[in-house]
Structure 1
Amino acid sequence: MMTMTRGLLISIGQHSDRGRKPVNQDFHGILIPEEPLLSLKGIAAVLADGISSSTVSQIASESAVKSFLMDYYCTSESWTVKTSARRVLDATNSWLHAQTRKSQYAYDRDKGYVCTLSAMVIKATTAHIFHVGDCRIYRVAGKALEQLTDDHRIIVSSEQTYLGRALGINPQLEIDYQTVEIEAGDTFILATDGAYEFVDQRFITSAIAEHAAELDGAAKAIVDEAYRRGSDDNITVQILRVDAVPQRDSAGIFNQTFELPLPALPEPRAMFDGYRIVREIHGSSRSHIYLAVDAETEGPVALKLPSIDLRDNAAYLKRFLMEEWIARRIDSPHVLKPMSQSRRRSYLYVATEFIEGQTLRQWMLDNPRPDLETVRGIVEQIATGLRAFHRMEMLHQDLRPDNVLIDKTGTAKIIDFGSVRVAGVAEAAPKSADEEILGTVQYTAPEYFLGEGGSPRSDMFSLAAICYHMLTGHLPYGAQLAKIRGRSDAWKLRYRPAIDAERGIPGWIDGALRKALHPDPYKRHEDLSEFVFELRNPNPAYLATRTTPLLERNPLLFWKLTTAILACAVITLLAVLRLR
């Protein structure tokens, strides 16, 4: 069996037999979805082996395989393979364990709903391997096999062994995970112990070579040989051969949209794809945004069109294509909502809800000295929106006052998703050694300048910088962030304390900001909720009285005094030398 998409070509073969046992407790399956899931989620192959001491473990192995193949593809498309598979396997393990606890085998786990499991997900140019138990995954290396998994089997003696780990045996699941880069020609084998304990590697590789055109025949030949050599267990073999690998290109996920023509900038009162243009709301080198009215519903909408200046920039267009895809996967009252698409689109653009209000940047200009409670309220709303991104394994990466709208009710909404990093899509995209910093320098976390990539703590840094700016009227590091060229520059950053008696900023608020704005992401708060909590609840660690260093309180005076002391030392030294 073969499947191909945009350069990905995989041949598949599989066979299973109950062997000399009355019931086949093995279960296996491979699922190849249609696009766009094929690019976003990959191809999944799963093998489970029930344990012989249980009369119901065939139910466990069947449930485990079916739930993985069905539920994995129902997880968020924005999640990584690891996150998606782990969520599914954890849920399956909990269900199997609960079934045992409710059964007559509640106190004899070896007779309950237990099985081993090995799974492989091939996405783009990477194979993701998940393993618990004693099934095995091999990669063919010439006429030998490279074992990629470790057997979770405890050896008591030459005649007695038992499983150290299995699916459903404990409330919590400990599962091995690894990734393997794949190339055209790579062949992988998933096998139960009823196969690999009885057939030597040379026979397996020879069978695959002999049945290269039809791998089901190779799998059957291996199973038959294991039976002939005396296998007393169920026997299952799966074979996956990578005949060609795809190009790592996230834009391919959006091929249909990518083919849409780029629109000309419309004039007021003109009709544009079923919308009546009212006026331009915002225009910049990055995009053009118009207020329009839907001709069918008479409701207001905002239309975002690609920048005229960047239409020849392929990377920019890919990010533009991602914006609506991202927006449709975020559900939060504090994130801009896309309009439902009920008719065929003629051009490349994004239609979103229209928010009557102003950017946070304009709000800050209109309210240069906001009270602490107002600032806290805005920060909490933005944090709620950010958490919606983080739950989907997305990073905003360009949080700044211009990308937050405040409507007439005082509700804050995060807008502009052009810099958002989606972990699940990034797995299929090329990695550049010199990736562009997409955020605005003044609010961007230092780790981006070091080429280390971001994390939810990076978005926290940006949010804390906005909070600091609203409270003090300036930025915590001034223009220092733009000068970072290496790690030593990051450690030289000097935080300007936010304590201000006139503005009513207490020391414990400054302590929370100082921590969230630390140059080292691992020294910031672990989660956004912790930072938001500390903006309302004094952390005892920040209440201790401490003297702020003169360098932080008054850098100019510090350097003047340092220069004066050095001058005195030089004069004294010269006087001593003259006396000699």
Structure 2
Amino acid sequence: MTVSAFETGGSLRVSLGQCSTAGRKPVNQDFHGAYIPREPELSSKGVVVALADGISASAVSRIASEAAVRSFIEDYYGTAESWTVKTAAQRVLMATNSWLHAQTRRSEYRWDKDRGYVCTFTALVLKSRTAHVFHVGDARLYRLVEGRAGGALEPLTREHRTWMSPERSYLSRAMGVSEQLEIDYLALPVEAGERFLLMTDGVYEHLSEARMCQILAEHATDLDAAAHALVQAAFDAGSDDNLTVQVVRVEEVPLGQAEELYSGEARLPFPPQLEPRMVFDGYRILRQLHASDRSHAYLAVDQATSDKVVIKILATELRESPKHVERFLMEEWIARRIDNPHVVKAHRSGRRRRYLYSVTEFIEGRTLAQWLRDEPRLELGTVRSLVEQIARGLRAFYRLEMVHQDVRPHNVMVDATGHATLIDFGSVRVAGIAEGRPEEANDPLGTAAYTAPECFLGEPATPRSDMYSLAVIAYQLLTGALPYGTEVAKTRSRAAQRRLAYRSALSVNRELPAWVDEVLRKALHPQPKRRFEALSEFAYELRQQSPAFLKKSRPPLVERDPVLFGKGVAALLALLVLVLLLE
């Protein structure tokens, strides 16, 4: 099968040439494919080129090869846009491997895996300015390094083959061999003009690297012809195996790290000043909900559906900052991709927008910050319910490789029934978008009082960082205070963080069970690894009387009530002085 070289528009452009033939064998057990999508998939998922090589001993390995390539391409583009390339590809490959292995176990070949649904697999994913390589088996992927005499080939993969003797060998790793799959992964930067070469062993075992470079140089302007020429040269050299070659050239890469993720929304003009009773883009403005140094939010009614919505516009002072514009656009982008009852949903009007703003559903209720002002201390049962709901919302982020980074009372809405909903995603870190960008050593994006200590050291936030923030909220709802006061934001070294002293919740709320304080203490530990492994574990332990925490003794008085302890010591010293004077 031959595919002519072609190009795609957008910020990333590639050309591709492919050729595959059975050669001297009656059946071609190789399978190859590629997909170059249009925007926005081109920026969010990239370009995929893949090939698989069936095992000669298996009569069904052609099925395995085709399934591996087809499922990888189709399923990869079906994964969450927020996932990193590595996560998306590996999960798809794991699923395909499980399917192939199950097919073998259900077939007549279950006792002879080499004759089952087994194949090698190699894929190249080009996204933005990065090449991602995934490899299992003995196919090869090269990068052409330009230089004199046609350049040189740099191997980016290694063969997973064990040699018993100079004549005998077997694949030590392949798709479908076992339930577990170990995948080689490599990520490297790419530049315009770079070329990549994928091929099966039927080609590279019969051609020297010098000969391959020569052929590539002779067909530098026609990649399809280059792929054909490489296959023919291997055949002429005596190859008796199937022959597959894919040649990829990167024509153009994005100028910067930012991707075009928003389908042109960033080019829209900013809206005018919104006022009550004003009709704006099909919405009737009712009133302003809040204003901050980052954005202004308004309650409005969609005139087409009568739905109440929240319209948010970027603060005037930030409109000249590409970074802040991108973060603002990301909020609604995230809301569109998370479907969870505890995460605010984006409002879809179906109308084309004329301005740059975001629209989400309106939640009738009050924020947890308002709750704290109205009711400084809540019942333990109410706090447990709120923590569990917020945790369920946050886990929806984690499933898409997102971290909220700004879990605080102002960002949680609670309606009249006690239903909690996370709002405001301006600080969310999306792994799939951050991928390939250098980490910026800026101050944490969240609110200082609720931000985990590790974020003040410049470390990226993780789900355990969100757990810390949620535990601060729980502590505050139960006590009306903060576990470390304002000290966390001042600790900018590990040594300083080790000196942080947790203030027992019992010193403020003496009615709180001692084991609950121990649960909070663990979730609020300055070191992320000392916290619970998952949010679900924290929420569970907060409700269940775990033996591990029940065994812990009640904290000493100096921790529970330092003031009372100090008064007691002073009284004891006064009594001692009095006794000495009487003597």
Q: When the two structures are superposed, what TM-score results if normalisation uses the length of structure 2?
A: 0.92
Contact 2:453–2:489, Cα closer than 8 Å, also in 1: no
Q: Name 1:21's counterpart in structure 2.
A: 25
Contact map agreement 1:369 1:503 (CA 8 A) in 2: no
Q: Is the 1:5–1:246 contact (alpha carbons within 8 Å) kept by the matching residues of 2? A: no
What does 1:127-206 align with in structure 2 at a 5 Å threshold?
127-141=131-145, 142=147, 143-206=151-214
Matching of residue 402 in structure 1 with residue 416 in structure 2: no
Does the CA-based 8 Å contact 1:500-1:506 persist in structure 2? Answer: no
Give 1:245 deviation, angstroms.
Answer: 2.2
User: What is the identity, as a one-letter code, of the residue corresponding to 1:130?
Assistant: F
Q: What does 1:452-471 align with in structure 2 at a 5 Å threshold?
A: 452-471=459-478
1:47 aligned to which of 51, 59, 63 = 51
Does the aligned pair in 2 maintain the 1:6–1:247 contact within 8 Å? no
2:524 corresponding residue in structure 1:
517
Q: How far does residue 196 in structure 1 lie from its aligned partner after superposition?
A: 0.8
Deviation at 1:545, TM superposition (A): 3.8
Correspondence for 1:444 among 441, 447, 451: 451
User: What does the per-residue CA deviation read over 1:303-332, in whole Å, with 9 as the maximum and x for residues that have no partner?
Assistant: 112212322222111111111110011111
Task: Assess if the C-alpha contact under 8 Å between 1:305 and 1:349 holds in 2.
Answer: yes
1:308 to 295, 310, 316: 316
User: Which residues of 2 match residues 410-559 of structure 1 at below 5 A?
Assistant: 410-427=418-435, 430-500=437-507, 502-546=509-553, 548=555, 552=559
TM-score (structure 1 length as normaliser): 0.93
Residue of structure 1 equivalent to 2:372: 364
1:528-575 residue CA offsets vs partner (Å, 9 max, x unmatched):
11101100112323223447467745668999999xxxxxxxxxxxxx
Q: CA deviation at 1:503?
A: 4.3
- CA distance in structure 1 between the aligned counterparts of 2:568 and 2:517, rounded to whole angstroms: 27
Q: What is the CA–CA distance in structure 2 between the aligned matches of 1:260 and 1:509, rounded to whole Å?
A: 51
State the AA in 2 paired with 1:160. R
Change in 2 beyond 3 A, CA 1:545/1:388? closer
Greater Cα offset, 1-10 or 35-44: 1-10
The secondary structure found in structure 2 opposite 1:10 is: strand
Of 229, 232, 251, which aligns to 2:237? 229
Code of the residue aligned with 1:455 in structure 2: it is T
Alpha carbons of structure 1 residues 507 and 553: separation in structure 2 relative to 1, 3 Å = closer
CA distance in structure 2 between the aligned counterparts of 1:246 and 1:559, rounded to whole angstroms? 64
CA gap of 1:8–1:386, structure 2 versus 1, over 3 A, is same
**Secondary structure, in 3 states, of the residue corresponding to 2:109?**
coil
Residue 63 of structure 2 is matched in structure 1 by 59
Q: Distance in 2 between matches of 1:80 and 1:233?
A: 36
Q: Is the 8 A contact 1:306 1:349 kept in 2?
A: yes
Structure 2 spans left out of the alignment, 5+ residues: 570-583
Do 2:507 and 2:560's aligned partners in 1 also have CA atoms closer than 8 Å? no
Rounded Cα–Cα distance in structure 2 between residues aligned with 1:222 and 1:251: 35
What SS class does the counterpart of residue 535 from structure 1 fall into?
A: helix
Answering whether residue 326 of structure 2 is matched by residue 318 of structure 1, we say yes
Is 2:346 the counterpart of 1:327? no
Judged with a 3 Å threshold, the aligned counterparts in structure 2 of structure 1 residues 410 and 155 are, in CA distance, closer, same or farther, namely: same
Q: CA RMSD, aligned part only?
A: 2.1
- Which of the residues 113, 122, 133 maps onto 1:118? 122
**Secondary structure of 2:251's match?**
strand
Give, as a single letter, the amino acid of the residue that structure 2 aligns with 1:241.
R
In the aligned structure 2, how far is the partner of 1:545 from the partner of 1:403? 34
Deviation, structure 1 residue 243 = 3.3
Superposed displacement of residue 296, structure 1: 1.8
Separation in structure 1 between the aligned mates of residue 471 and residue 508 of structure 2, nearest angstrom = 20
Amino acid at match of 2:458: G
Corresponding residue for residue 392 of structure 1 = 400
Matches of 1:100 and 1:118, distance apart in 2: 21
Equivalent residue runs for 1:375-390 within 5 Å: 375-390=383-398
Is this contact kept in 1: 2:8–2:36, CA < 8 A? no
Q: Give the corresponding residue for 1:3.
A: 7
1:373 paired with 2:381, answer: yes
Q: Give the counterpart of 2:103 among 99, 118, 126.
A: 99
3-state SS of paired residue (1:104): coil
Q: Secondary structure at the match of 1:30?
A: strand
Deviates more, 1:357-366 or 1:336-345: 336-345
Amino acid in the other structure paired with 1:202:
A
TM-aligned CA distance change 1:559 to 1:504, over 3 Å: closer
Distance 1:503 1:5, change over 3 A: farther
Picking from 70, 73, 77, the partner of 2:77 is 73
Question: More displaced, 544-553 or 374-383?
Answer: 544-553
Give the 3 Å change call, closer, same or farther, for CA 2–446 of structure 1 in structure 2: farther
Residue 229 of structure 1 aligns to which amino acid in structure 2?
A: A
Tell me the equivalent position of 1:217.
Answer: 225
| Identity value in percent | 57
Judge conservation of contact 2:44–2:259 (CA < 8 Å) in 1.
no
CA contact (8 A) 1:136 1:147 kept: yes
- Contact map agreement 1:332 1:388 (CA 8 A) in 2: yes
Write the distance in 2 (CA, Å) between the matches of 1:43 and 1:407: 44
CA contact (8 A) 1:124 1:247 kept: no
Contact 1:2 1:9 in 2 (8 A): no
CA contact (8 A) 1:129 1:179 kept: yes
Secondary structure of the 1:262 match is: coil
Tell me which moved more, 309-318 or 193-202.
309-318
Query: What is the letter of the counterpart of residue 89 of structure 1?
Result: L
Cα distance in 1, alignment partners of residues 316 and 257 from structure 2: 24
How many residue pairs match? The answer is 561
